[in-house]
């Protein structure tokens, strides 16, 4: 028995295992969740603390794993190729012996053995030494990182001089290309963009790892950068203000009818807002009055003497910046201005928080937030509700266009000012205007329409479908007239009249 050959084959196996170890260690340490490792470290897990050290200084394990992978791969190629060629040479030479025993044929036999050895070593290296450990380490990142942390950290200590030379050599090479020492910025290797975090949230929700409500809240935090004050504000048509000539008594009367926490104070019109009156401050002032006479004098005060300064923001201001401004300056409300300086609406801290946690109702909830469910397919919606707010609640993809609210969608679809009873047919839903306040749509009926799956339509069928959708837009009288004017309806009526006449003659 050739023990030398057996020892070489055993060494090849060890090199493949070594390559798998270094590859798996790198993937495991890179993929391990920091939050989970931090949690384990807080319980006193020593391995988790070592992993934290490696996370904070990623050049430690990157250097060790890269040096290990490189040296093992080179050794595997050298020893593996020579050993397997030595094993296969006799058999290959015997097979090629059928073609002769010349030196040229023996040379071709040796080359063929070398090629087969290369294919076998490459296959074992890629499959057993690269792919398999990567997949395993990715799915068992935390467990594997805890297992290998001590070994990797120990190898770093042993190989410190070699690693120091290599790190400084690589930094010198980067310096030649105008890059600074990137090794000092290890944290950057683990940073993620907002889009990457959104992708992780979606995947976690689909796999059941996160509660859908929690996922919605986390996604709402990142969406604040994409939404502006105009997206979350209470529109001007819903704003309840008081003139600066009003008294505290007038504000109290308004509070009885319209339960709001704050009211803007305007001069001549809402385009000239001069302050904000807070019901909390006002009621607190009345409650702490020293005598009934003091309360009476407060009630008679002009609202201008008890109001606070108004804060104005442009309608294009991002909600993330507005939330930061509100919290840093302890503000609760802001007046939203359009590009011409006119009042477009107002926005409160509650409106911004609802972008994160979703809408919730209390005694101060503005009426334009209401969405009433009649049944699973039928909803009554306020015309001021934003379309993007409705999509997740109704599970319906509204068409995109130059509008923000449900009322804007209907006006856009009709191409004119809507009237009570107008219908708008969407693909999979029917809208009906139920209530209006002057030219503003205040109440809309939304009806899901479930249709059976139909075969692929030809072009004439598509055109007919478009015609069917278009004639459903308008008032009930317009819809009925369009139906009666359609050729197919007139043909049916003519055939019915003809049949009736023939029946009369028979009688």
Greatest C-alpha distance within the chain: 127
Q: For the domain that residue 259 is a member of, what is the CATH number?
A: 3.10.580.10
Looking at the predicted structure, is the pLDDT value of residue 134 above 50? yes
pLDDT at 405 over 50: yes
Alpha helices of 97-211 — where are they, by DSSP H?
103-126, 132-139, 141-158, 160-176, 194-206
- Reported confidence tier of residue 505, pLDDT bands at 50, 70, 90: very low
pLDDT of residue 506: 34
Structure tokens at 161: 């001089």
421 in any annotated domain: yes
CA 47 to chain centre: 34
* Residues 266 and 340 grouped into a single domain: yes
Query: pLDDT by residue (tens digit) across 261-277?
Result: 889 999 989 999 999 99
DSSP codes joined into one string, 12-81 = HHHHHHHHHHHHHHHHHHHHS-HHHHHHHHHTT-HHHHHHHHHHHSTHHHHHHHHHHHHHHHHHHHHHHH
**Torsion from C-alpha of 169, 174, 180, 181, nearest 10 degrees:** -30
Of the pLDDT bands very low, low, confident and very high (cuts 50, 70, 90), residue 256 is confident
* Residue 296 counted as domain residue: yes
* Rg of the chain over all Cα atoms, to the nearest angstrom: 38
Of 134, 166, 190, the domain-final residue: 190
Same domain, yes or no, for 242 and 216? no
Tens digit of each residue's pLDDT (9 = 90 or more) over 43-58: 888 999 998 888 888 8
Q: Tens digits of per-residue pLDDT, 4-37? A: 888 888 999 999 999 999 999 999 998 888 888 8
* In contact, 444 and 380? CB cutoff 8 Å: yes
b vs e for 361-378, b when ≥16 Cβ sit within 10 Å of the residue's Cβ? eeeeebebbebeeeeeee
Does 171 share its domain with 308? no
pLDDT in the model for residue 451: 60
Residues 157 and 240 in one domain: no
Q: Say if 415 falls within a structural domain.
A: yes
Is 345 part of any domain?
A: yes
Q: How many whole angstroms separate alpha carbon 288 and alpha carbon 284?
A: 6
Q: Establish how many alpha carbons lie within 13 A of residue 354's alpha carbon, considering only the half-sphere containing its beta carbon.
A: 19
Cβ pair 58, 188 in contact under 8 A: no
Rounded to the nearest integer, the mean pLDDT of the chain is 81
- Indicate whether 468 and 413 sit together in one domain: yes
pLDDT at 479: 47
Contacts of 219 (CB under 8 A, 6+ apart): 198, 201
**CA-angle at 130, arms to 129 and 136, nearest 5°:** 100
Q: What pLDDT, on the 0 to 100 scale, is given for residue 188? A: 44
Instruction: Tell me how far CA of residue 275 lies from CA of 103, 262, 278, 301, in angstroms.
Output: 103, 10, 10, 15
pLDDT of residue 462: 45
Instruction: Please report which confidence band the pLDDT of residue 469 belongs to, taking 50, 70 and 90 as the band edges.
Output: very low
Looking at per-residue pLDDT, the higher value among 360 and 147 belongs to: 147
Q: What pLDDT was estimated at residue 187?
A: 42
Average pLDDT of the segment spanning 236-261: 87
Q: Examine the pLDDT at 109 and tell me if it is beyond 90.
A: no
| Owner of token pair 């993809």 | 397
- Which are the contacts of 486, defined by CB distance < 8 A and separation ≥ 6? 471
Q: 414-440: per-residue pLDDT in tens?
A: 999 999 999 999 988 999 999 998 888
Q: Percent of the chain having pLDDT more than 90?
A: 27
CA distances from 2 to 8, 9, 70, 90, 92 (A): 10, 11, 30, 15, 19
**Confidence at 318, pLDDT banded by 50, 70, 90:** very high
180/211 same-domain check: no
Residue 344 token pair: 């477009």
The structural domain count of the chain equals 4
Q: Are 394 and 237 in contact (CB under 8 A)?
A: no
Last residue of a domain, one of 357, 380, 396: 357
Tens-digit pLDDT profile for residues 225-238: 888 998 888 888 88
pLDDT at 356 over 80: yes
52 within a domain of the structure (yes/no): yes
Can you read off the two tokens belonging to residue 49?
């603390």
39 and 175 assigned to the same domain: yes
pLDDT for residue 9: 87
Listed in order, strand segments (DSSP E) in 160-253 are 234-235, 242-243
pLDDT score of 197: 77
Query: Quick one: 140 and 271 in the same domain?
Result: no
List, in sequence order, every residue forming a beta bridge with 445; answer none if it has no partner.
Answer: 380, 432
For the chain, what percent of residues have pLDDT higher than 70?
82
Does residue 314 fall inside a structural domain? yes
- The C-alpha torsion from 220 through 225 and 226 to 231, rounded to 10°, is 80
Q: Which domain holds residue 304?
A: 229-357
Contact residues for 182 (Cβ-Cβ < 8 A; gap 6+): 171, 174
pLDDT of 497 over the 50 cut: yes
488: confidence class by pLDDT, cuts 50, 70, 90: low
Q: What is the pTM of this model?
A: 0.52
Residue 461 CA to chain centroid, in angstroms? 37
Same domain assignment for residues 198 and 309: no
Query: Are residues 89 and 113 in contact, defined by beta-carbon separation less than 8 angstroms?
Result: yes
Domain boundary, last residue among 180, 204, 223: 223
Say if 485 falls within a structural domain.
Answer: no
The pLDDT value recorded for residue 458 is 45
In terms of domains, do 146 and 208 share one? no
**Quick one: DSSP state of residue 366?**
-
**Of residues 292 and 276, more confidently modeled:** 276
Predicted local distance difference test score (pLDDT) of residue 238: 84
Is residue 417 included in any domain, yes or no? yes
Residues 52 and 186 in one domain: yes
Across the beta sheet with 371-373, the strand order is: 371-373, 378-382, 440-448, 429-437, 423-426
- On whether the CB atoms of residues 357 and 220 are closer than 8 A, the answer is yes
Return the structure tokens found at 217: 């809240």
- Is the same domain home to 415 and 455? yes
**Residue pLDDT, tens place only, 185-234:** 444 445 566 677 777 777 777 777 777 778 878 888 888 888 899 888 88
Average pLDDT over residues 343-368: 75
């Amino acid at each position: 028995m050739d023990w030398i050959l057996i020892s070489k084959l055993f060494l090849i196996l060890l090199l493949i295992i070594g390559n798998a170890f270094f590859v798996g260690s790198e993937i495991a340490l890179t993929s391990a969740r920091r939050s989970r490792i931090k949690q384990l470290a807080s319980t006193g897990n020593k391995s988790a603390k070592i992993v934290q050290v490696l996370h904070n200084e990623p050049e430690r394990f990157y250097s060790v794993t890269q040096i290990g992978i490189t040296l093992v791969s080179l050794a595997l190629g050298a020893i593996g190729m020579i050993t397997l060629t030595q094993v296969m040479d006799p058999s290959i030479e015997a097979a090629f012996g059928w073609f002769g025993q010349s030196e040229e044929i023996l040379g071709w036999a040796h080359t063929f053995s070398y090629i087969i050895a290369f294919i076998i070593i490459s296959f074992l290296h890629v499959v057993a030494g690269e792919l398999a450990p990567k997949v395993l380490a990715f799915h068992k990142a935390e467990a594997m990182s805890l297992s290998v942390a001590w070994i990797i950290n120990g190898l770093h200590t042993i190989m410190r001089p070699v690693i120091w030379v290599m790190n400084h050599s690589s930094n010198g090479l980067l310096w030649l290309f105008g890059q600074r020492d990137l090794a000092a910025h290890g944290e950057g290797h683990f940073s993620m963009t907002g889009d990457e975090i959104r992708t992780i949230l979606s995947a976690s929700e689909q796999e059941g790892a996160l509660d859908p409500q929690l996922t919605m809240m986390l996604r709402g935090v990142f969406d604040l950068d994409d939404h502006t004050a105009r997206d979350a504000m209470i529109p001007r048509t819903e704003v309840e203000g008081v003139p600066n000539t009003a008294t505290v008594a007038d504000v109290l009367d308004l509070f009885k009818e319209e339960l709001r926490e704050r009211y803007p104070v305007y001069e001549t019109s809402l385009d000239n807002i001069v302050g904000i009156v807070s019901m909390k401050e006002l009621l607190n002032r009345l409650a702490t009055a020293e005598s009934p006479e003091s309360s009476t004098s407060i009630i008679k005060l002009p609202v201008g003497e008890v109001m606070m300064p108004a804060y104005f923001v442009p309608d294009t201001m991002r909600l993330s910046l507005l939330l930061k401004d509100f919290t840093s300056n302890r503000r609760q409300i802001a007046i939203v201005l359009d590009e011409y300086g006119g009042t477009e609406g107002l926005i409160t801290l509650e409106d911004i928080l609802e972008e994160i946690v979703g809408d919730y109702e209390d005694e101060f909830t503005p009426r334009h937030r209401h969405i009433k469910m009649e049944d699973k397919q039928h909803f009554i919606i306020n015309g001021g509700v934003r379309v993007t707010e409705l999509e997740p609640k109704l599970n319906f993809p509204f068409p995109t266009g130059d509008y923000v609210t449900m009322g804007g969608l209907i006006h856009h679809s009709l191409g004119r000012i809507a009237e009570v009873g107008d219908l708008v047919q969407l693909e999979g839903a029917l809208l009906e205007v139920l209530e209006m306040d002057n030219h503003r749509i205040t109440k809309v009926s939304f009806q899901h329409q479930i249709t059976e799956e139909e075969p692929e339509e030809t072009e004439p069928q598509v055109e007919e479908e478009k015609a069917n959708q278009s004639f459903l837009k308008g008032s009930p009288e317009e819809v009925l007239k369009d139906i009666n004017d359609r050729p197919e309806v007139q043909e049916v009526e003519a055939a019915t009249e003809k049949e009736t006449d023939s029946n009369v003659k028979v009688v």
